[in-house]
Amino acid sequence: MPSERDFSERELSEREFIVEADGGSRGNPGPAGYGAVVIDAATGETLAEAAEYIGVATNNVAEYKGLVAGLRAAHQLDPAASVHVRMDSKLVVEQMSGRWKIKHPDMKPLAAEAAGVYPSSRVTYEWIPRAQNKHADRLANEAMDAGKRGERWSPSESTADLDTRAARAAAEPVGSVSVGTVGPPGDAVAGAARVRAGLAATRAGAGAGAGAGADTGTSTGAGAGADASTGARTGAGADEAGGADARAARSAAVPPVGWAAPADLGAPATFVLLRHGETPLTPEKRFSGSGGSDPSLSDVGRAQAERAAAAFAARGTIQAVVSSPLRRCQETARIVAARLGLDVHLDEDLRETDFGAWEGLTFGEVRERGPRELNAWLASPDAAPPGGESFAAVADRVAAARDRLAAAHAGRTVLLVTHVTPIKTLVRLALGAPPESLFRMELAAASVSAVAYYSDGNASVRLLNDTSHLR
């Protein structure tokens, strides 16, 4: 999504925008992304930026998607404006100008989408050398870099605008004045970019330290991968003593935030958390833990796993697959891993809660048979179903798995195929939330969540219960 600012009706009348767009693919086809920037033609001010990692695609597809994003960003600012598009893709410029025919089937719908944003009478196209398209190029590379980390591009963390201005200023003779080099008075976009660049320089020059960094960026959308929106990093530490909640509380206690935060300690270990697909028990809402019949996936569950696999393959960020040993997770994990060309590793601590005597029963049936035991279980994480396992015990083993896997996969993105309770527990501990929060989260079958773990012991929840890949 583009970042933008508001304008009065007077400012929006008879405006002219410049849209610069670019796209790239690291492999062609390969991991791809686009970038686009909307510039006020009168002042040279940057009005909006857009960038996105789009998975595996060709250069041409990425460039067309950048064009569409740039035109849409301009349209959001003023649907009556005139737009001059500048791109370093001769193919896109010539095709959109009507001088070259569009023959490739992948290009036709994208060209039609671009042509439908504004009336053709309001849009002109110009080819420019790549060296003059640096802003959009930097945005596209930022998006691809974010995608490689399993994240979404964040406008608040982008330095493309400042980098481009600085490059232009450095190339100009001393004493010359260039529109857009500094920006008009009150240019909040440029000012924010300068602050971000200053923070980036500070982070790069600072040594590693303890405490939690605080991301101030936002991201949009919900892809099938680790993405997400970021906020203050809080969460679960890796102390040896005490329970999972005690470890989480200690690591989250009064961390420095915002500009007072210490240096970024490098790429996190990112857990992409996939709940297994449906089993015959899922739609009946029956307790199905690690002490019951260990059901297989249903036909619906296998289809869900296939869709998740396709989404992860398009995203291209998963580097390892770890699964609960229960059959429904192993089947889900193998479907995904086969699509990604990876092996499946099992971790016993990722299994579901043992629900003991409640296995295979509905909530209503449990209430009828043992209301006292059920109420005690709902009231305390230390209470266990008859013959089963408490949530406190589950939290201890899930925290142990978290610490072990985060250390083994530092700086990598790993897919954990597991169950409702382990996923909710990882999210709860990362947020420092109380045990009762387990009953206040929804996790659909084959849904995707994500948590990132940093080397200073802090965590950031980036996604929860995403099912967009199933639609």
Q: What positions carry a catalytic annotation?
A: 276, 352
- CA dihedral of residues 115, 116, 120, 122 (deg, nearest 10): -110
The closest of 260, 255, 263, 219 to 237, measured between CA atoms, is 255
3-state secondary structure 69-127: HHHHHHHHHCCCCEEEEEECCHHHHHHHCCCCCCCCCCHHHHHHHHHCCCCHHHEEEEE
Between 420-431 and 391-408, two packed helices, what is the crossing angle to 10 degrees? 80
Tally: H helices and E strands in the chain:
14, 11
Distance (Å, rounded) from C-alpha 152 to C-alpha 144? 9
Residues with Cβ < 8 Å from 289, sequence gap 6 or more? 352, 353, 354, 355, 359, 388, 389, 419, 421
Give the CA-trace dihedral at 42, 43, 47, 52, to 10 degrees: 90
Tokens of 159: 């330095």
Read off the amino acid at residue 118: Y
b/e code 102-134 from CB counts within 10 Å (16+ = b): beeeebeebbeebeebbeeebbebebeeeeebb
Contact between residue 429 and residue 248 where contact means Cβ atoms under 8 Å apart:
yes
Alpha-carbon distance values, 146 to 31, 37, 316 (Å) = 11, 18, 12
